[in-house]
Amino acid sequence: MDARPGLGSAAVPLAVRMRPTRLDEVAGQSHLLGAGSPLVSLARDDGRGPSAVSVILWGPPGTGKTTLAQAIARQSGRRFVELSAITAGVRDVREVMERALADRDLYGSSTVLFLDEIHRFTKAQQDALLPGVENGWVILIAATTENPSFSVIAPLLSRSLLLTLEQLSDDDLGTLVDRAVADQRGLKGAVVLDPTAREAIIRLASGDARRALTALEAAAQSAAIERDSSDDDTAAEHPVITAEIVAAAVDRALLRYDKNGDEHYDVISAFIKSIRGSDPDAALHYLARMIEAGEDPRFIARRVIISASEDIGLADPQALPIAVAAAQAVQLIGMPEGRIPLAEAVVYLATAPKSNAAYRGIDEAIADVRSGRIGRVPKPLRDAHYPGAKRLGHGKGYVYPHDEPVGVVEQQHLPDPLVSTEYYRPTERGHEREISARLEKLRAIVRGRRGSGG
């Protein structure tokens, strides 16, 4: 930001200036900061605190992982070292460990190593942390937005305390925003925050403290520019942040949506489950989140096609053609107009009758094949077009269905070990109700004769 009185400097973002220096200043995470909690104990002076504890902080962006680590180090008087798994390597880790060991042995001091985005470290890089953690050379505080069970090696997990951070509540964000407006480290009371603007910032933040402060800072800058450029002599002494200014400054909420992370898969999962659960409103919500986050619309369209086959199936045979048509439309017209056929297909699927009978049937058939339940193809069904086939009995006894008045004949099609197996079991929902009645008659005719099949 410009160096206007009270509005800070571009060199130090508001979110950094407002970072707490003590745990009792942290907004949210009350479930982790109660009296006697591990983090509070860790923040004690070296003399009273534990000799060494490793902590993994798992939570969405903007929930205070870095803030907690820095507050613990400052409050306890420990040396603080920060590494990012994006840029650091094994050499950097070893240098920190060697320095920490030397400081401990020479000066009796303790080091907090904060490792951001530990999920980006390879196994070998995480292995380099083990000696320092096991021997108490450092207090490791690792942060991740990914599930540690999948991204952190087992030896490190077993030696660490896993703590889950939650998104900040609206009340927590409100406290944070109010403090930033008034605090000397923040905007120093140099702006007036309209209540509707406050609500807009909280809504846009979606539980992310950093996003809330970034939005506030951008809005304060815009409000100051608007007041300075106004010809109105009656303009307020301090810039006034309105909901309109917030909307113009921030444009729209930057959705938390990492295409390689848990949130990506959580939103996709919720999208598909909302369609399956016949909730078009929820399905449209998650579709909107994916679109606004910049998800490839072709990826969304593929998921819609899969849902049409897996969850609707033959309960509504139009579901698949509609899903395919939506995918083709997206390919032809692109975005943002592609959102419309996608929405149409999603609503159709969500409100359609549901059946996974075909999906379940093919999976059961594949399971039988993989387990060896195969058997030989019955001789009447074997290929008989090549010379010598008839001599082997291939095709002998085959009855051509179209020669029969009803177009269905008594004939064994499955191999002997699978005779009478029923993979497809239609539901009584939608179009499958008709299929079920017809299939019962078909099976009665087809299974009226049991040949050996050879």
Query: What residues does each domain of the chain span?
Result: 29-164, 170-250, 262-351, 377-446
Q: How confident is the model at residue 292 (pLDDT cuts 50, 70, 90)?
A: confident
pLDDT at 2 over 50: no
Please tell me the predicted confidence (pLDDT) of residue 142: 93
Q: Which of 293, 304, 211 is nearest to 249 (CA)?
A: 211
Please tell me the predicted confidence (pLDDT) of residue 107: 87
CA dist 296 and 254 (Å) reads 16
Answer CATH for 170-250 from 1.10.8.60, 2.60.40.420, 1.10.3720.10, 3.40.50.970: 1.10.8.60
Write out pLDDT tens, residues 424-438: 999 999 999 999 999
Max Cα distance, the chain (Å): 106
User: Is-cis flag, bond preceding 336, omega within 30?
Assistant: yes
Please tell me the predicted confidence (pLDDT) of residue 284: 97
Please tell me the predicted confidence (pLDDT) of residue 263: 67
**pLDDT mean over 380-390:** 77
User: Bigger pLDDT: 261 or 214?
Assistant: 214
φ/ψ of 180, rounded to 5, equals -65, -35
Write out pLDDT tens, residues 228-240: 776 665 556 788 9
Please tell me the predicted confidence (pLDDT) of residue 344: 97
pLDDT at 374 over 90: no
Overall fold of domain 377-446: post-AAA+ oligomerization domain-like (1.10.3710)
User: Bigger pLDDT: 263 or 349?
Assistant: 349
**pLDDT mean over 406-420:** 89
Write out pLDDT tens, residues 64-123: 898 998 888 888 888 889 998 888 889 999 999 999 999 988 988 888 899 988 998 999
Contact between 275 and 349 (Cβ < 8 Å): yes
Mean pLDDT, the chain, whole residue set: 86
Give the E-state strand segments of 191-320 in sequence order.
Answer: 192-193, 240-241
**pLDDT mean over 277-281:** 95
Q: Please tell me if the domain spanning 29-164 has the same topology as the one spanning 377-446.
A: no
Please tell me the predicted confidence (pLDDT) of residue 258: 53
Q: How confident is the model at residue 170 (pLDDT cuts 50, 70, 90)?
A: very high
φ/ψ of 282, rounded to 5, equals -65, -40
- Concatenating the DSSP letter of every residue in 260-271 gives TSHHHHHHHHHH
Instruction: Give me the sign of the Cα torsion angle 122, 124, 128, 129.
Output: positive
Q: How confident is the model at residue 150 (pLDDT cuts 50, 70, 90)?
A: confident
Please tell me the predicted confidence (pLDDT) of residue 3: 43
Answer CATH for 262-351 from 1.20.272.10, 1.20.120.420, 3.40.50.300, 1.10.10.10: 1.20.272.10
Please tell me the predicted confidence (pLDDT) of residue 253: 45
User: Bigger pLDDT: 217 or 50?
Assistant: 217
**pLDDT mean over 131-141:** 90
Please tell me the predicted confidence (pLDDT) of residue 454: 41
CA dist 68 and 29 (Å) reads 10
Please tell me the predicted confidence (pLDDT) of residue 453: 42
Please tell me the predicted confidence (pLDDT) of residue 234: 55
User: Bigger pLDDT: 334 or 329?
Assistant: 329
Q: Which of 326, 325, 314 is nearest to 352 (CA)?
A: 314
Please tell me the predicted confidence (pLDDT) of residue 251: 63
**pLDDT mean over 333-359:** 94
Rounded-to-10 torsion of CA 14, 17, 23, 25: -60
Segment among 199-203, 250-254, 388-392, 439-443 with least mean pLDDT: 250-254
φ/ψ of 160, rounded to 5, equals -125, 155
Please tell me the predicted confidence (pLDDT) of residue 385: 76
Give helix then strand counts, H and E, for the chain: 19, 7
Q: Tell me if the domain spanning 29-164 has CATH number 3.40.50.300.
A: yes
Please tell me the predicted confidence (pLDDT) of residue 49: 47
Please tell me the predicted confidence (pLDDT) of residue 156: 92
Please tell me the predicted confidence (pLDDT) of residue 1: 42
